[in-house]
Structure 1
Amino acid sequence: MIVRQALFEGTIRPGREQAFRGYVEEKLVPLWRAFPGVREVRVLHAVDRDEGAPAFAMILSTTYDDREALARALASPVRYESRELTKGLLEMFEGHIHHHVFDLDARSTA
């Protein structure tokens, strides 16, 4: 399995926290779940962190069977639609987004 994570490094603009979460749930999660081949979509909203650790407002984690399935998802029209809608989310966010791809160690899952 392959896991792709989008790390929203930074903070949500003050007073926009609920709007940020609502935008993610109402507009973006349905699109992320529509990516071809996606097995799982998880959205993690920051609650706390170690002192001195960098701030991550949110992490989007999506799981695919393999790198080919991920490539198909990233080339799909729904991905480009979600990128356009993400622009509205970025109006509520101060920071940047970076992506990481991982192999999921099957032995570590319950």
Structure 2
Amino acid sequence: MIIRQALFEGRIHEGKEAAFKAYVADKLMPMWLEFPRVCEVRVLYAIDQDEGAPAYPMVLSTMYESREGLDEALNSPIRYASRDMTKGLLAMFDGVIHHHVFELEA
């Protein structure tokens, strides 16, 4: 299995935490679930971290059966539409997004 994670490094604007989560749930999650060949979509919200560690208030994790499945999803029209929709989320966030791809051993 292939896991792709988007790590949101930074901070959600103060007082916008609920709006941020609602935007993800209402606007982005339905799009992410439509990615071709996606097996699983998870959104993780940070509740604690080690002292001095960088802040990752949200992590998006998607799972695919193969690298080819991930490539198909990344090149799909719904992925590009979700990138446009993400602009509204970024209006409530200061920071950067890192993408990482992992292989999950059985």
Asked if these proteins are the same fold (TM beyond 0.5), I'd say yes
Give how far 1:19 is off: 0.2
| Equivalent position of 1:80 in the other structure | 80
Cα drift, residue 101 of structure 1:
0.2
Number of equivalenced pairs: 106
Corresponding letter in the other structure for 2:76: S
Amino acid at match of 1:53: A
1:57 to partner: Cα distance = 1.1
The answer to whether residue 67 in structure 2 is matched with residue 45 in structure 1 is: no
Partner SS, residue 81 of structure 2 = helix
Q: Which runs of 4+ in 1 moved over 4 A?
A: none
What is the aligned partner in structure 1 of residue 68 from structure 2?
68
Unpaired runs of 5+ residues, structure 2, are none
Unaligned runs of 5+ in 1: none
Q: CA RMSD in A?
A: 0.4
Alignment of 1:1-110 (within 5 A): 1-106=1-106
TM (norm. structure 1) is 0.95
Q: Provide the C-alpha distance between the structure 2 equivalents of 1:28 and 1:105, rounded to a whole number of angstroms.
A: 28
Q: Which amino acid aligns with 2:89?
A: L
Q: Deviations over 1:40-73 (max 9, x none)?
A: 0000011111110100010000000000000000
